[in-house]
Chains A and B, each alone.
Chain A
Amino acid sequence: MLKRKRLLFAIAAILPTLAIFFWVRIIPIGEILRLSVHKWDLLSRNKPFIGLENFRELFADHLFWEALRNTSIIAFGVLLLTIPTAMVISALIYHRTKSRFAGFYETSVFIPHVASLVPAAMAWKWIFDARLGPLNAFLGMFGIQPQAWLFDPTLSLISIIILCSWQALGYAVIIYLVGFKNLPNSLFEAARLDGASAPQSFWFISMPMLKPITLYVSVVTLVSAFNVYAQVFVLASDAQGAPGRQVRVLVLDMLENAFRNYRVGYAASEAVVLLAIVLVLTFIQFTLLREKGARS
């Protein structure tokens, strides 16, 4: 009887959260799936069913492929830049835990993650400015010619990767720090007695033992980077006055199709593709973590 009451209480307690989750997450996803097989211009009452026509057109659309290519480059670029950097920075901070500046180090790295995105991106826009930006001024000190960071097709992608990584780094470092603090000290002491140097301890002990953390941070960073939009919008948006070369990413392409081209069904099919990518990445995460759990 008591067990049943506890079960009912648990259900009652979780029900509001589930209801909200269902309302704001599941229903929209269902609606996106439904819209992706319909033709709808946002304004019309008619939404004719067109099967997979949106997907057929999508996979023949060079702008979609451009958006997917750019998004993937940004996402994996952010991943490749963020993870090793975060691991090294967190190792340095961890080994300076007793320093009176430890709190300062952690805060400085974490601030970009909590800073408001738009002002931060505006600041980076100035940094990347071809004529007046400090980045080109700095490079000029080494005799490097000024670069059109926000206009060159390759450099504009690199600029966005740098901005996104700068923002993602703080979160990754904090998670890694938690991981470092949970590593058994005895292993490092044993390694030191065996004559291992600090880099060797890092490479042969810390890195393998932080694998679950690395997996988690990798997937969170990758999924978040696949949803990149605001950074691109601010750095290279469509405001008048030539602010930069527009870097087409999936979310931006979706918004353009839905609210500028009035093609909601088509945009929904893009959203389904993005959803599929994110699901695959999440599946990979779960699979790898489960394998790890099974082995342990």
Chain B
Amino acid sequence: MEGKTTMSINKNAILRAGINRSAVLGSVAAGVMMAGISGAFAQTVTVWSGYPELAPFYEHVAEGFRETHPGVTIDVQAIPLREHERRVALGLSSGSAGAVVVELNSATASRYIENELFNQALEGVADFVQDSENFGEFFVDAVSYDGTVYGVPLFRGQSALFYNLDMFEEAGLDGPPQTMEEYTEYAKALTKRDDSGNIDVTGWSLRLSGGGQGIAEKFWINMFQFDGGMMIEEVTPGKFRINLNNEAGRAALGQYLDNIHIEKTVAVESPADAEAFEREQTAMFIRESWVIGDIAAKAPDLNYATAPLPYGAIGLPANLYVSAEGEAEQAAWDYIQATNDPENLVWLLENVGWLPNRHNVDYSPVTEAEPAFAAFVDYPEGYAFFTLPALAPIEEVLTRIAAQLVNAFAASQLAGDEEAIGNFLQAAEDEANQILRREGLLAE
């Protein structure tokens, strides 16, 4: 894997058995210092999150934070991601947000940093982030702009396969699929139908509908399994190119279409995603680690396991940024640092399931107690990762591609026709590249 849009996370990076003593001492010292200065605050800091399931985590951090900062009120507002993105855009651009801690992925945050809507990290915070004992280079780069730190890494979205063990056993399958060809074969074996042949349980739940960029992201994850196929590549620094009509793109779309229209292992109207998996309406699907926490809360008796994907996974870091002035800024950064306290990060993993990015913390009590985490932290040698590039119009590009993909998924005439698939992907690629051209970002 090459280019800035790829990364490498050390195997077992978050499974470090021993807690780094100096880090613990540092945290304790920082806590004492925070306590000393807390009397100076009488502030409200609002936390904006795009994941409702993270609200208990931020509240948990706030609970401990109150002890050291009794004068600071933490107001947690966690809403669905797309609404969150709109809120951030409106709130920050209008200047009406007040003192806020904003959770965003690096690609989206770059716009705000370019327009000076996020504060630079305070010196102590920047040192904490840049300390290689705490975070790998990939995560430091993700919160930096022109070498300056603007945020603090918190967690990442990383995908793996979730599969229902009972359904696999029933179908005579003794382990997860290892190649993309096997994914289709397994899906065929796992699909359950009623007497009329309609799908009762999908063999493999794919993201086929809805709106927004999620469809394109999920497609990219599947595309990546075909020898690391990349949808967007940074060809030269600051110049990008969309690649859909390549071998991986054609193979991925071909596989979607085969499953929908030829093998009929999944249908656009089939129940999908974590909800369907928890209700045993699908046998397997690819998703991030938060599903583990979701299953524990909603379907604790579900007999399932996880597995790494055939080639690699997406790693989408979510970071915390600050938009605040005066004393509220200090309070906001203090709160952000509190989210990265070892105890809080372990709580996050155990209770929510998102993977923390700080690596010098002992997560083994959680990962050993919950085997499903293995696919996320104990992956094979050479397992590759990709992430969304810090490209200003990334949302528009992915949303456009998603709109095209939805049309492709509905087009039964494309199934099995390689030339038609290639033509379709070329048209989608040209349209997306036109966005890059308009913004002066296209690598010619």
Contact = CB atoms under 8 A, between A and B. Distances in A.
Q: B interface, how many residues as a size bin? A: 35 or more
A63 to B, nearest CB: 6
Nearest to B200: A131
A44 B439 CA distance: 14
Interface in A14-44: 41-44
Given A131-B271, A238-B212, A245 B406 contact: yes
Interface string A166-190: 0000000000000000000000000
A43 B90 contact: no
A43 B269 contact: no
Interface stretch (B111-119, B153-161, B180-188, B374-382): B111-119
A41 B111 contact: yes
Interface stretch (A71-79, A114-122, A146-154, A273-281): A146-154
B82 A238 contact: yes
Of the candidates B82, B211, B406, the one having the most CB atoms from chain A within 10 angstroms of its own CB is B211
Contact of B85 (A240, A248, A260): A260
Main secondary structure, interface of A, reads loop
B75 interface: no
A42 B442 CA distance: 22
B319 interface: no
Contacts of B275: 241
A237 interface: yes
B90 A240 contact: no
Interface in A242-267: 242-246, 248, 255-256, 259-263
A130 interface: yes
A237 B211 contact: yes
A260 B268 contact: no
A246 B395 contact: no
B80 interface: yes
Given A42-B93, A241-B272, A260 B212 contact: yes
Interface residues of A, number: 33
Nearest to A40: B93
Contact of A261 (B267, B270, B395): B395
A148 B409 CA distance: 15
Binding site of B, secondary structure by majority: helix, strand, loop or mixed?
helix
A253 to B, nearest CB: 10
Nearest to B89: A259
Nearest to B205: A242
B207 A259 contact: no
A151 B268 contact: yes
Interface in B124-170: none
A131 B80 CA distance: 26
Nearest to A130: B269
Interface string B22-37: 0000000000000000
Interface in A194-253: 236-246, 248
Contact of A43 (B80, B117, B268): B117
A42 B272 CA distance: 34
B392 to A, nearest CB: 8
A74 B223 CA distance: 36
B64 interface: no
B410 A242 contact: no
B396 interface: yes
27 contacts: A41-B111, A41-B392, A43-B92, A43-B115, A146-B198, A148-B269, A151-B209, A238-B212, A238-B214, A240-B80, A240-B214, A242-B209, A242-B210, A242-B268, A242-B271, A242-B273, A244-B209, A245-B268, A245-B406, A245-B410, A246-B209, A246-B210, A246-B406, A248-B403, A259-B86, A261-B393, A261-B395
Interface of B: 80-82, 85-86, 89-90, 92-93, 111-112, 114-115, 117, 198, 207-212, 214, 267-276, 392-393, 395-396, 399-400, 403, 406, 410, 438
Given A242-B208, A242-B273, A262-B393, 17 more contacts: A41-B111, A41-B392, A43-B115, A57-B438, A63-B400, A148-B269, A238-B211, A241-B210, A241-B272, A242-B268, A242-B270, A242-B271, A242-B272, A246-B406, A260-B212, A262-B111, A262-B395
Instruction: Enumerate the 10 nearest inter-chain pairs by beta-carbon distance, A residue then B residue, closest first.
Output: A238-B211, A246-B211, A242-B272, A261-B396, A241-B273, A238-B212, A148-B269, A259-B86, A43-B115, A130-B269
